[in-house]
Amino acid sequence: MKKVGLCSALLVLVFALSMTLAFSGSVFAYSKEKPMVIKCAIDNPPKDIKARTIRKLGEQVTEKTGGRVVFKYFYGASLIKKPAFVDGVGRGIADISTGPISFVTGKIPALSPFEIYGAYDLSKKLEMSKEVQPLLIEVFKEKKVYPLMQQFTGNCIFTHKEKFLNTPSDWKGAKMRLAGRWQSTLGKMWGASPVFLPPPELYLACQRGVIDGFMLIYDITFGLKLYEVTPYITDTTFSNNIEIITMNLKKWNSLTKEDQGIFLDVVKELEPWNMKETLSVVEKFKGIMTSKGAKIHTLTAGEKKLYLKDSYSLWPEVEKVSGPRGKQFMQILKKYR
């Protein structure tokens, strides 16, 4: 009877262990012969720097894991659209995507401080990213997402079809495409009418007079040839966002610790590459755009001061709505202005 009881206990223990392994994403869940497939939803064109960064991430992870993890790429919003880079990934429709936080500050108000123009000095982006990462992990955990990496977006630019927007007063009466609550708030403060449209719709909107201009970054403006319809480009040199490569949290947790370490090692190498490559590509784009009729004005110190005065005036209001975590982000960002 004792032997029967011992055997039963062992069977229960073995069953419990097998169930634990089955539901914990064990090391036996994938292998080189049966690799984990990472579905990447990329709204950006394949040659865009953000798309290239994700592809480089995939290639290096696949190589360093010996083929245990492979990436499959879905371009042109064929899997999810860019505004779903958090919700779509959290639900597992895609395993990885990328997008700007201005699309989600309404649902994740703690991220609001990043949306303010000049929230951090772009030259200090890598140091800033490292310091905010632990807090970002906490925030995105609630959305079932792991913030894998912050992409460098480059300078924020204001464009217009007829004039430079050198000072806030130049916005008066303009219909401007803006993204996010706080950018729209500033647009209204400056006398503009904020409109939200996805970037692919901007060319026709500008051409038909639906809008007069927009706030974006160089690579999108170049890639969609928007400089053809809004040739006046005001380079603010400000930050206006952070772009997050998101990963489904369940997928992240189903990786072995070894492979998680490989992902993080690749990201550590990739972030400075992404920043350097973006800066290089932007200079190339600027040259091409000006050769085709675009005009670029970089804000002077005095012009920057006028913009930042209004921008920073929103911080007390941002602090109220962004909560305790938003306040923590703000305390970090103040060190990197």
Flag whether pLDDT at 304 surpasses 60: yes
Tell me, yes or no, whether 83 and 144 share the same domain: yes
Cα separation, 268 vs 11, whole angstroms: 45
Q: pLDDT category, 44, cuts 50, 70, 90?
A: confident
Q: Is residue 82 in some structural domain?
A: yes
pLDDT band for 179, please (50, 70, 90 cuts): confident
**Which pLDDT score, from 0 to 100, does residue 68 have?**
98
Asked whether residue 115 is assigned to any structural domain, the reply reads no
pTM for the structure as a whole: 0.86
Strand order in the sheet with 175-177: 193-195, 175-177, 213-217, 156-160, 232-235, 295-298
CA 160/CA 158 separation, integer angstroms? 7
Highest mean pLDDT among 14-23, 195-204, 295-304: 295-304
Residues 43 and 87 in one domain: yes
Same domain, yes or no, for 199 and 259? no
Confidence of residue 1 (pLDDT cuts 50, 70, 90): very low
Check pLDDT > 60 for residue 39. Answer: yes
- Give the pLDDT of residue 22: 44
Residue 77 has pLDDT above 80, yes or no: yes
| Shared-domain flag, residues 203 and 246 | no
Write down the pLDDT at residue 2. 46
Across the chain, mean pLDDT equals 92
Do 313 and 236 fall within a single domain? Answer: yes
Question: How confident is the model over 251-279, as pLDDT tens digits?
Answer: 999 999 999 999 999 999 999 999 999 99
pLDDT band per the 50, 70, 90 thresholds, residue 23: very low
Distance CA 35, CA 66 (A): 10
Task: Give a yes or no: residue 12 inside a domain.
Answer: no
Distance CA 35, CA 193 (A): 50
pLDDT tens track for 143-156: 999 999 999 999 99
State whether 235 and 297 are in the same domain. yes
Instruction: Report pLDDT for 204.
Output: 97
Q: Which domain range does residue 204 map to?
A: 156-240+284-336
**Whether residue 165 sits in one domain with residue 143:** no
Distance spanning both ends of the chain, measured CA to CA: 74
* Strand (E) or helix (H) holding 9: helix 2-23
- Percentage, residues of the chain above pLDDT 90: 82
Q: Which two tokens stand for residue 103?
A: 């699309």
Same domain, 71 and 132: yes
CA distances for 204 relative to 191, 197, 227, 231, angstroms: 23, 11, 12, 14
What would the DSSP string read from start to end of 46-113? TTSHHHHHHHHHHHHHHHHTTTSEEEEEEETTSS--GGGTTHHHHTTS-SEEEEEGGGTTTT-GGGGG
User: Residue 275 sits in a domain of what CATH number?
Assistant: 3.40.190.170
In a domain, 20, yes or no: no
Please count the structural domains in the chain.
2
**What is the rounded distance in angstroms from the CA atom of residue 324 to the CA atom of residue 110?**
8
User: Do residues 52 and 63 share a domain?
Assistant: yes
How many whole angstroms separate alpha carbon 84 and alpha carbon 100? 10
Q: Which one-letter DSSP state was computed for residue 180?
A: S
Residue 251 lies in a domain: yes
Across 59-63, 69-73, 79-83, 125-129, least confident range: 79-83
| Structural domain contains residue 106 | no
Residues 210 and 74 in one domain: no
Cβ within 8 Å of residue 201, ≥6 positions away: none
Has residue 9 got a pLDDT over 90? no
Per-residue model confidence (pLDDT) at position 321: 95
| pLDDT reading at 110 higher than 70 | yes
Decide: 126 and 271 in contact? Cβ < 8 Å: yes
Q: Which pLDDT belongs to residue 6?
A: 45
Q: What is the pLDDT of residue 255?
A: 98
User: Residue 11: pLDDT above 60?
Assistant: no
Contact 201, 214 (CB under 8 A): no
With respect to residue 134, please indicate whether it lies within any of the assigned structural domains: yes
Q: Looking at the structure, tell me whether residues 226 and 131 fall in a common domain.
A: no
Both tokens of 328, joined, read 């923590």
Same-domain pairing of 134 and 171: no
Q: Is residue 2 part of a domain?
A: no
The answer, yes or no, to whether residue 18 has pLDDT greater than 60, is no
Partnered with residue 195 across adjacent β-strands are: 177
CA distances (Å), origin 208, targets 148, 161, 201: 39, 11, 11
